[in-house]
Structure formats: C-alpha cells, structure tokens
C-alpha cells in the first residue's frame, strides 16, 4: 500500500479555524504540488480530505474527485488517519490531505514505531509505502517533497 500525506498549503490566519482559506502563495504551492502528484498518482488513487476549507482548496488543485472525511479533520489523531486510510491493508494508493501536527504524528508512527513530533512543512507531501516481507511488512519512505523544491511547472 502507498500512503501519501499532504499537508495543506499556506493559509491565512484567523478564526474560525475550519474556515481559513489559502493565501495566494498557498494557492501557487498547491498547484505546484498538485502537478507533481498528478504526474505520479495512479488514476484510481483514493483521495481523503479534511473538511477544513484550506485542505479542500489544496486538494481541489488536483482536479480529481475526492472524499471529505470528518474523522481526518483538524482534531484528528494518528489512529483516526490510519483507520480512514485502511493502513496497511488498502489495495489502492491513498492520499490524505490534512493537518499538522497529526500528519507528523502519522509519519513518525509509521517510520519509527512511535508517535513523535515530526514536522510536515506546509504544502509538503510525504510518500510512505507498506511492502510485504514474508509474514510481516516493512515500511518505506519513498519521497518527501516540499513546494519550494518544485519549479513552477511542478517538476523537481
């Protein structure tokens, strides 16, 4: 299973938190990352998005169908994210568009076995894979890409 964790791009400050929109920079970064993802995601990838406006706008840059999942919202925890993604048993590549610090907790849990405070930069994607190894599995970090590493056309 491939699991991609995409933190929403830069958003304006304000309240209520769930209604914060992307800034102009956030919109540009979301488009860049969406281009990079669009060239790599399988057509049948499952895209699960927090209901917060900034995550909806970030995912919208992909121009693909996605599902809004309340359980991966701003108050989610790592276990809820992994449950929504059906980690590690899902048969489809799954993209989660969510929030920090939860995405950092998920990445830490999958990569180290403990829920720590890894920092996922705004607009960044962490690509993690579960690969069978005999009766068990191994977890592999396939990529970490931030918007500032991408050119305007979405290429590295």
Residue 44 confidence (pLDDT): 97
96-110 core/surface letters (b: 16 or more CB in 10 A; e: else)? bbbbbbbbbbbbbbb
Q: How many CA atoms lie within 13 A of 23 on its CB side?
A: 11
Domains of the chain by start residue, with CATH: 2-149 (3.40.50.1240)
Closest CA to 30 of 142, 125, 126, 129: 125
Average pLDDT over residues 13-26: 97
Q: What is the pLDDT of residues 118-136, one digit of tens each?
A: 999 999 999 999 987 776 7
Q: Are strands 46-49 and 94-98 parallel, antiparallel or unpaired?
A: parallel
- What φ, ψ does residue 82 adopt, rounded to 5°? -65, -35
């Amino acid at each position: 299973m491939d699991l991609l964790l995409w933190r929403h791009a830069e958003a304006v400050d304000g309240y209520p938190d769930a209604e914060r929109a992307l800034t102009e920079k956030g919109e540009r970064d979301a488009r860049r990352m969406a281009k990079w993802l669009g060239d790599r995601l399988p057509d049948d990838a499952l895209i699960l998005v927090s209901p917060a406006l900034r995550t909806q706008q970030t995912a919208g840059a992909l121009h693909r169908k996605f599902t809004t999942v309340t359980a991966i919202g701003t108050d989610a925890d790592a276990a809820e994210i992994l449950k929504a993604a059906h980690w590690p048993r899902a048969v489809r590549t799954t993209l989660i568009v969510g929030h920090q610090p939860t995405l950092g907790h998920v990445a830490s849990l999958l990569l180290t076995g403990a829920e720590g405070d890894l920092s996922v930069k705004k607009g960044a994607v962490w690509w993690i894979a579960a690969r069978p190894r005999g009766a068990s599995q191994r977890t592999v970090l396939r990529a970490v890409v931030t918007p500032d590493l991408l050119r305007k056309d979405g290429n590295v």
